[in-house]
Amino acid sequence: SATQPTSSAASEVYMRQYGFNAKNVVNVSLQGNDYKRVTNEFLTVSGVASVSASDIIPATNVQNGMSLRVAGSDAEYTRFSVLQTDGNFLGNLGLSLVAGENRKVSGDSASRFVLVNEAAVRALGYVQASDIVGEVLQPQGDAEEFVVVGVTKDFQHTALVNEDGIHPVVLRYQPGSFGYVSVRIAPGNIPGTLARLQSRWKTIDPVNAFRYDFYEDQLDAMYRGFFDVVSILGFIAFLAVVIACLGLLGMAMYTTERRRKEVGIRKILGADDSSIALLLSMSFLKVLGTAICLGGPLSYYVNNLWLQSLPNRVGFGLGTVLTGAITLLVLGLVTIGTQTFRASRSNPVQTLKMDG
| Bridge partners (DSSP) listed for residue 182 | 27, 52
Instruction: Judge if 322 and 254 occupy the same domain.
Output: yes
Instruction: Judge if 215 and 77 occupy the same domain.
Output: yes
Instruction: Judge if 215 and 254 occupy the same domain.
Output: no
- Domain boundary at 175, 190, 222, which? 222
Instruction: Judge if 49 and 180 occupy the same domain.
Output: yes
Instruction: Judge if 155 and 229 occupy the same domain.
Output: no
Instruction: Judge if 137 and 260 occupy the same domain.
Output: no
Between CA 163 and CA 229, with CA 167 as vertex, the angle to 5 degrees is 15
Instruction: Judge if 24 and 99 occupy the same domain.
Output: yes
Locate all alpha helices (DSSP H) within the chain, ordered by sequence: 4-15, 35-43, 89-93, 118-123, 190-204, 215-222, 224-258, 260-268, 273-307, 318-344, 348-355
Instruction: Judge if 172 and 151 occupy the same domain.
Output: yes
Q: What is the pLDDT along the chain (356 residues), one digit of tens a residue?
A: 545 554 554 444 444 568 888 999 999 999 999 999 999 999 999 999 999 999 999 888 667 889 999 998 888 999 999 999 999 999 999 999 999 998 876 666 788 899 999 999 999 999 999 999 999 999 998 678 999 999 999 998 877 665 556 889 999 999 999 999 999 999 889 999 999 999 999 999 999 999 999 998 888 887 776 667 777 877 887 888 788 778 877 877 777 777 666 666 766 666 666 777 777 777 777 877 887 788 777 777 776 666 665 555 555 667 777 777 788 778 877 877 777 776 666 655 565 555 55
Cα(337)–Cα(353) distance, rounded to whole angstroms?
25
Instruction: Judge if 245 and 321 occupy the same domain.
Output: yes
Q: Residue 142: which region, alpha, beta or left (left: phi > 0; alpha: psi -120 to 50)?
A: alpha
Cα(178)–Cα(171) distance, rounded to whole angstroms?
13
Per DSSP, 272 falls in state -
Instruction: Judge if 243 and 123 occupy the same domain.
Output: no
Cα(24)–Cα(189) distance, rounded to whole angstroms?
11
Check: CB of residue 53 under 8 Å from CB of residue 175: yes
Instruction: Judge if 196 and 253 occupy the same domain.
Output: no
Instruction: Judge if 125 and 254 occupy the same domain.
Output: no
pTM of the model: 0.65
What is the domain range of residue 123? 4-222
Pick from 66, 64, 93: nearest CA to 80: 66
Domain tally for the chain? Answer: 2
**Helix, strand, coil percent content, the chain, rounded in steps of 5:** 50, 15, 35
Pick from 84, 82, 69: nearest CA to 145: 69
- Domain boundary at 168, 188, 222, which? 222
Pick from 129, 356, 194: nearest CA to 261: 356
For 114-124, letters b (16+ CB in 10 Å) and e give: bbbbbbbbebb
- Domain boundary at 169, 191, 222, which? 222
